[in-house]
Amino acid sequence: MWAVPRSELDRTVGLVAEGALGRPANLPAIGLTWAPLVEHDDASAALLRRAATYAVLNKPSRGCASVGESALRWWRTSGSSSSPATRLRPREAIPLSVIDDLTTDADPAVAGAVAARIGATSIALPATDAATVADRVAWARRVLEVVSAASPPPD
């Protein structure tokens, strides 16, 4: 699951679980891979703003400033590789509430508690910069350690 807002996380996990109900018993259990949006640095902040752009466009009830909405719609339909979300401050283009709803806390204990609650079995990471991949993998491992500590041991 990628870019699922906190406000929709439980519903989305429920849909995944519902979809898995019809699986034959002889198949291995499904695992839930969670790709939280975390603001670690400028590159991850830019990725978060791009995801927020789509969140606003895909759910108009989240709203945005009329100028920002026009810019976002132009960018989405123009094929431009330069997102208005990277040129405008988030408050100008995207409501801060949308960014907050999409952002997962960078603290591994907090992110790990969310991952454990939703039953995540793995973490997917965006590779926006090769220089930061090792740090992101280390962060994801810390998150999964929290999940393991919160999970009961298998029978």
pLDDT band at 129 (very low <50, low <70, confident <90, very high): confident
Place of tokens 């220089």: 131
Percent of the chain with pLDDT over 70: 73
Output the average pLDDT for the chain: 79
pLDDT of residue 84: 47
pLDDT of residue 58: 67
pLDDT band at 52 (very low <50, low <70, confident <90, very high): confident
What letter would DSSP give residue 81?
Answer: S
Q: Report whether pLDDT(99) > 80.
A: yes
> Of 112, 135, 136, nearest to 126 (Cα)?
136
The pTM score is 0.75
Task: Provide mean pLDDT across the span 68-94.
Answer: 52
Which helix (H) or strand (E) is 92 found in, with range? helix 90-93
Place of tokens 């508690």: 113
Tell me the residue type at 26.
N
pLDDT of residue 137: 94
d(CA 33, CA 127): 16
pLDDT of residue 91: 44
Give backbone dihedrals phi and psi of 121, rounded to 5 degrees, phi first: -110, -10
Percent of the chain with pLDDT over 90: 33
